[in-house]
Amino acid sequence: MYILGISAFYHDSATVLISNGEIICAIEEERLTRIKHDNQFPLQAIQKCLKDCNLGINDIDCIAYYEKPLLKFERILQTFVETYPFSLKPFLKAIPDWIGQKIKVEQIIRKDLDYKGKIYFSSHHLSHAAAAFYPSPFKNSAILTADGVGEYQTTALWRGQDKEITSLKSINFPHSLGLLYSTFTSFLGFKVNEDEYKVMGLAAYGKPTFVDDIYKLLEVKEDGSFELNMKYFSFRESFQMWSKAFENLFGNPRKPTGKVTTRDENLAVSIQTVTEEIYFKILNHLYQLTKTKNLCISGGVALNALANGKIYHRTPFKKVYVFGAAGDSGGALGAALLINYHAFNGNPKTPINNLSLGSTYSNGEIKEILKEYKLKYEFISDEDELVEKVAFLLAKDKIIGWFQGKMEFGPRALGARSILANPKPSWMKNKVNIVKRRELFRPFAGSILQSKVDEYFKVPEKNYFSPFMTFCFQATEKGRENLSAIVHEDNSCRIQTVNIENGRYFKLIQRFYKITGIPCILNTSFNLKGEPIVENPKQAIKDFLRTKMDALIIENYFILKSTYKRKFHFYLNI
């Protein structure tokens, strides 16, 4: 039984292929088109999944789409009527896209894929809930889904029990925690649905001086339900998210190329503070409704790692699962698992602890590409020798491009398509940001041995498991002393715990630990500013050649920049 899940037309289009409930391939369209957050129908991703799994479209038993286009279009029309005539211009601009493709999902699937089988549609937030609960380790759980907007829902509370997901409460458009945060993202000169994490990073430098002013924008109840005061927002009726009243309160917006000011830093931490306060009120109410200590979260707001790390202290929840592809790309998985259960009585509970679910390349394929680029390389068949050389380079403060195994699904690099560095010297943060051509205030995450995580970070328990890099935690004194490049200004760090299930990546961190005494490495996505994460060896090579990365390791191929090309001496007792 093969089911193809699809998300498309808003942001982060993706496809997921499951077989008898097990996920066997998952790819975002952006990785193949090289358009960051590509929202088009994921034709290339579908073709890649099918090809890599040696399947044709006729082998697919059904297709599951992650939301209901007609219901979403109904909301668009309703919003237009409510805000006319102010919304006329954006409505007229949006209509051709809607009539041309967004409302014709079934026709597009039939035509572009030549597919004649069954097509099912799930609701947007139910797809998110399924993508959170079904891959989790919990038999029963509270579930929160929160994002910009689906069809109507922006925030939804659920209960997961065995295989059933039950709706409890919801908040509808235009009242949206995701859109509130995105309004400030845009006002601060960043891109909506792309740069919200920049606001999180910037928040560490400011003081929450605007909290009281932000609360003028909305009314929040004790159960976390809220309503936006729409006089401060214009996202329903214009191309700009905030109104003149918003500017009267906070001043002029920052230009995308403008200098980041103290006001901008203070706005960033203020909106982060307010978001967290609402978030925790919602979660505490959800606990009262469900009385379970288990929690699953999905939707774009679930990628706020800074808030997620505080759940253990600010709510009664003790076990929290945030699926790594929590945004719209993960909705493709949720839809597929829902249909597998409801239409075919399959088991949707598919615990997922590893997101290496995408494309992979053989050493033979890589060799031909290296020849094409006329690169000198060393092929190292022995894994221990390869890991030894890379760990030694990291210990010598070199920056490494690391391309191994199946590509990750979701927005985080988790040791398959990563840029790696030594996390100890504080100056390494700026050096890697320069390599990636990013703003210097941007923080980096760390991959740490699971057995050592509680020594370096204030995690909820010893041997804490966090495989998807969806939580930030405060560093311990030992963490601050040894991980200066990844511990942020506010003493926080987004972490990924690594264990034997991570294969070669685990071995690399183990060897780095033996050399340096530090069980952690700086891990950031293998891409440059404005690019999606690299998908294939050619893309990795191009980024390597046009930056000051010191070495590139693609599977068993070891490539050094000429300035560092020399003979290495290794000692087992280093």
pLDDT(473) > 80: yes
Average pLDDT on 300-328 reads 97
The pLDDT value given to residue 99: 80
Architecture of domain 171-322: 2-Layer Sandwich (3.30)
User: Given this structure, which CATH class describes domain 2-135+325-342?
Assistant: alpha beta
Q: What CATH superfamily is the domain 363-564?
A: Carbamoyltransferase, C-terminal domain (3.90.870.20)
Question: How far out from the chain centre does Cα 38 lie?
Answer: 14
The token pair at 341 is 């259960």
Q: How far apart are CA 417 and CA 410, in angstroms?
A: 12
Q: What percent of the chain has pLDDT over 90?
A: 91
pLDDT band at 418 (very low <50, low <70, confident <90, very high): very high
pLDDT(101) > 90: no
Residue pointed to by tokens 């932000």: 214
Q: Which tens digit of pLDDT belongs to each residue from 9-30?
A: 998 999 999 999 899 999 999 9
The token pair at 121 is 């549609």
pLDDT band at 388 (very low <50, low <70, confident <90, very high): very high
The token pair at 239 is 């191309």
The H or E element that residue 3 is part of is strand 2-7
Q: Which tens digit of pLDDT belongs to each residue from 208-223?
A: 999 999 999 999 999 9
Q: How far apart are CA 500 and CA 449, in angstroms?
A: 9
CB of 492 closer than 8 Å to CB of 518: no
Bridge-based pairing of strands 400-403 and 551-554 is parallel
Q: Which tens digit of pLDDT belongs to each residue from 256-291?
A: 999 999 999 999 999 999 999 999 999 999 999 999
Q: How far apart are CA 429 and CA 347, in angstroms?
A: 44
Query: Boundaries of CATH 3.30.420.40 in the chain?
Result: 2-135+325-342, 171-322
Amino acid at 159: R
The pLDDT value given to residue 573: 33
Average pLDDT on 153-171 reads 98
The pLDDT value given to residue 562: 62
Q: How far apart are CA 325 and CA 411, in angstroms?
A: 7
Q: How far apart are CA 243 and CA 233, in angstroms?
A: 5
Average pLDDT on 334-348 reads 96
Listed range (229-243, 350-364, 555-569) with the worst mean pLDDT: 555-569
Average pLDDT on 352-373 reads 96
The token pair at 264 is 């901008």
Q: Which long-range contacts (CB under 8 A, 24 or more apart) does 541-546 make?
A: 541/369, 541/370, 541/373, 541/375, 543/401, 544/401, 545/373
The pLDDT value given to residue 568: 45
Query: Boundaries of CATH 3.90.870.20 in the chain?
Result: 363-564
Average pLDDT on 485-489 reads 97
Phi-psi region at 299: left, alpha or beta (left = phi > 0; alpha = psi -120 to 50):
left
Q: How far apart are CA 514 and CA 242, in angstroms?
A: 52
CB of 193 closer than 8 Å to CB of 256: no
